[in-house]
Amino acid sequence: MKRAISCSETAASSARGLKSAKAAMEIQDEQRANGSMRASFGRDEEGQTLVEFAFVVPVLLAVLLGIFQSAILFGDNLQLTNALGTGAQYLQEIRTTTSDPCADTFTAIKNAAPSLAPPSIGLKFSFTSSTGTVTTVSGTSCSGDEADMGGGQPVSVTATYPGSLTIVGIHFLPNGFLLSQTITQYEY
């Protein structure tokens, strides 16, 4: 049995639909008036992910670049330490057999640390004579001081190298800092 739908039933159904739509709009208007932002935007969240991504990505990139910069500084410090050990050992071996042992040591340090800028490496040598006198020389040359380097006495070499922490063009330590290492070699 099929039932025929009359015009009055269609009109009543349509009127009910309009009433429910009108009621939904009134609810939304009331929620907007109460300050509910969710009601004003409904369920449209298409751009929300993109906005969140735009806020988070620069922060994550800055952190990642900070990690890379720290790794570079750590690598420079490690390379300075290793090169300084090589230089101090070389100085211990050649100290009385050359006219400028400090210059030869500096050359050995430069060769052991090729990625460090040689003009930026600061050196200080400290050696003890056979009479017990301690001589300290700053720079890369100690010509004439080789007589003060007594056999069987320790030699110390201190090196400094400038470092900076710059991430995305921002200098976190405006004056920078010095990586510093000291190696003492003993002759046995």
CA separation for the pair 92, 106 (Å, rounded): 13
Task: Output phi, psi for 152, to 5 deg.
Answer: 80, 5
Contact criterion met (CB below 8 Å) for 148 and 127:
yes
pLDDT tens, position by position, 123-160? 999 888 777 788 888 888 887 666 667 667 888 899 99
Mean pLDDT to the nearest integer, 107-117: 92
Q: Tokens 């070499």 appear where?
A: 157
- 3-state SS string for 25-71: HHHHHHHHHCCCHHHHHCCCCCCHHHHHHHHHHHHHHHHHHHHHHHH
pLDDT at 141: 86
pTM summary value: 0.65
CA separation for the pair 94, 111 (Å, rounded): 16
